[in-house]
Amino acid sequence: MELLKLSLSAIDELNFKISADSSAGEGEIKSNLPFFDNGISRLNTIIKTLDIVNFSVDKFHQEEINWMIINKLIKEEKNAFNPNLLVLIGNNLFQALFPPNSQIKSILNSVITLADNKHSKVHIQFTYRSENPSDLTYYPWELVHDGQQFLAQRNFTFSRYIAYDAVQPNLPPVEKLNILLVSSRAFDSNNDLKQFPSSEQEAIRKGIAKAQRQKFVSLSKRKINKFNEFRTYLTENKNKKIPHIIHFDGHGMYGRACTNQLCRKINSGVKVSKCKYCNSDLSSPQGYLLFESDEGTADYVSATKFGDLIQKHSFNYKSQQGILLLVLSACKSGMALAGDSNFNGIAQNLISRQIPAVVAMQYLIEVSVAEAFTEQFYRSLGQKNSLATAVSDGYEAIGFETNQWYRPVLYLRWRDNEGGQLFEKSSESEPDQIKKIVHKYLANQRDSATSEELSKEFSSAIDTVESFIQTTQFLKPAEKWLQDDNIRWELAETLVKKTLKAQHLKSYRTQEAKDEAKFQYHLNLYNCLYWLLEAFQTWRAKEIDYFYDDLSEFPNQLYIDALNKLRDIALKDFASNKNVFNVISYFIDMLIDNLNKYT
């Protein structure tokens, strides 16, 4: 990965300085800030544009609309955004960062050449100084478009770095990641924060499924509605249980708190100056995450308060383990506007607390978009890719033709860590390790075996290979049967409908608890199907100890009934190929045997 550091600093209201540092050279230039209208910044107009899905006249002042028409950001009929809105914005950003014929543009081209020669990526790190708060941190730099493509569509990754006077975190990568999923179902109708489903939990589980089975990842799911419940978990889970990744799934907001101690309500937005509830003055704007109070009302936890808790529990000196990453799947958790500090957003505040990495959402984000990003982000991370690569893969999953792909951003401040590498790197590549094992085995055979013995061994090996080839002819259709993620999920849903009855849920008192249990059973059957898929792919039956704890909530017989229903489905699907059905049936029996071991 070729690193291109771009340090951005304001000169005055219209101009800024760009300092580039890379293996291809260094340079510094002065450039014009984009989005100005006769000396008036229209950055807030751009941010409002990016923060909504569909154009609405009542969201903008008339002078903003006039400027947007002139710059072709909206149609002349004033009824919709230009379909090429993001391209136009991205190209303005590119021209500001890499002016034509500039030294910085030459450095960019050289870095691209170096990366291409190495078949590598270019990682652009946008750097800001904390002591010089400016509008530069508000620009959506990840949208840069060179006139042909968004750089994010090419081999480019991005991160944001806030420089301040403290040693950079240098936490060691780990062999196995502990992930804590904090799922807050709190909502607040007063600020239009509606209750939403827990479907992101499914996206995370699907994303890390393979890594979890390979024991790279351990997931702990907690329905934490109250901030004190979150504090309790962090206090009681230290040493080896400390979460390396905390994923917050819930509502976020950026706004101002009322200074009246009898009110203390949170007011959305940065331009309001008086509380809409009691007309009192408001505090400086900052980010908030939504939990639930003891009374069941909305509890807005500020960036400062959340950061205080994380900092308190972020590192265990005894085990030398710490929190490596926070993923904030909450709207505006990466926003920091109109404050007197670069650290008033949730993500930025966490970076100031020596957390090495934060993934957050700059603007509002739709639930379906967040789910698509989350699933692919964790799938990529499970392949031991860097955070920068995982975020880039998440962008692709959202889709560059949408108007929301750029909304997740990566803040990274981690010493000597290329792109945010969470996993330890093996000193040898896997093929090299395999070669060593094979060579050692053959050397031992030559030293100890007679020619007759070797002849018998190789003859036996040939028989084994032929047997594998014959079995593979039947395993490949079985593998194809379960290969698609969505098909496995739908098949699991079918099995739920065929086996889960009202009596299985009667111990759960509330409908919400029943729905949660039903979802867990659905997920457990999905895991069983994934176990079968891996068996078809590897020709062997693994143990189920790594996911049996999840299964144990329901009786074994329920899973056995479901697997026998699956056998019936397989018999129907492979009625014309009994050999394939026999292979599937064989591995279903193996899975049932595994289940019975734990009874």
pLDDT tens per residue across span 186-225: 888 888 888 776 666 777 777 777 777 767 788 777 778 8
The per-residue pLDDT for range 393-425, each reduced to its tens digit, is 999 999 998 888 999 999 988 876 678 888 876
Contact 166, 132 (CB under 8 A): no
- Record the pTM: 0.72
Greatest mean pLDDT among 81-95, 225-239, 264-278, 423-437 lies in: 81-95
Contact 120, 419 (CB under 8 A): no
Closest CA to 31 of 48, 8, 3, 1: 8
Q: Determine the pLDDT at residue 6.
A: 94
Mark whether 46 and 96 lie in a shared domain: yes
The per-residue pLDDT for range 36-58, each reduced to its tens digit, is 988 888 998 999 898 887 888 88
Domain residue limits at 217: 177-353+360-366
The per-residue pLDDT for range 322-356, each reduced to its tens digit, is 888 999 988 888 787 756 667 778 888 888 888 88
H helices present in 51-176, as ranges: 62-70, 85-97, 103-117
Mark whether 441 and 319 lie in a shared domain: no
Mark whether 184 and 278 lie in a shared domain: yes
Residue 384 falls within a domain, yes or no? no
Mark whether 158 and 195 lie in a shared domain: no
The per-residue pLDDT for range 213-256, each reduced to its tens digit, is 767 788 777 778 889 998 998 888 876 678 888 888 888 888 89
| Residue 254: φ, ψ to 5° | -120, 125
pLDDT, average across residues 129-156: 87
Residue 419 falls within a domain, yes or no? no
Residue 37 falls within a domain, yes or no? yes
Residue 395 falls within a domain, yes or no? no
Residue 231 falls within a domain, yes or no? yes
Distance of CA 555 to the CA centre of its chain: 33
The domain that holds 569 is classified in CATH as 1.10.490
Mark whether 186 and 138 lie in a shared domain: no
The answer on pLDDT for 464 being more than 70 is no
Residue type, 128: Y
Q: List the single range of 202-211, 445-454, 496-505 with lowest mean pLDDT.
A: 445-454
H helices present in 383-450, as ranges: 387-398, 430-448
Rounded Cα–Cα distance for residues 137 and 8 (Å)? 9
Mark whether 146 and 190 lie in a shared domain: no
Q: What DSSP state is assigned to residue 145?
A: B
Mark whether 44 and 117 lie in a shared domain: yes
Q: Which tokens go with 506? A: 């009667």
Q: List the single range of 89-93, 156-160, 268-272, 447-451 with lowest mean pLDDT.
A: 447-451
Q: What is the mean pLDDT of the chain?
A: 83
Number of domains in the chain: 3
H and E: helices and strands count for the chain = 17, 19
Closest CA to 473 of 580, 554, 559, 570: 580
Mark whether 25 and 68 lie in a shared domain: yes
> What distances in angstroms separate CA 446 from CA 70, 72, 451, 460, 575, one per listed residue?
81, 76, 9, 17, 49
Residue 407 falls within a domain, yes or no? no
Residue 373 falls within a domain, yes or no? no
Mark whether 554 and 457 lie in a shared domain: yes
**Torsion over CA of 523, 526, 528 and 531, rounded to 10 degrees?**
-120
The domain that holds 342 is classified in CATH as 3.40.50
Span between the terminal Cα atoms of the chain, in Å? 49
Residue 424 falls within a domain, yes or no? no
Mark whether 234 and 262 lie in a shared domain: yes
What percentage of the chain reaches a pLDDT higher than 70? 86
The answer on pLDDT for 372 being more than 80 is yes
The answer on pLDDT for 462 being more than 70 is no
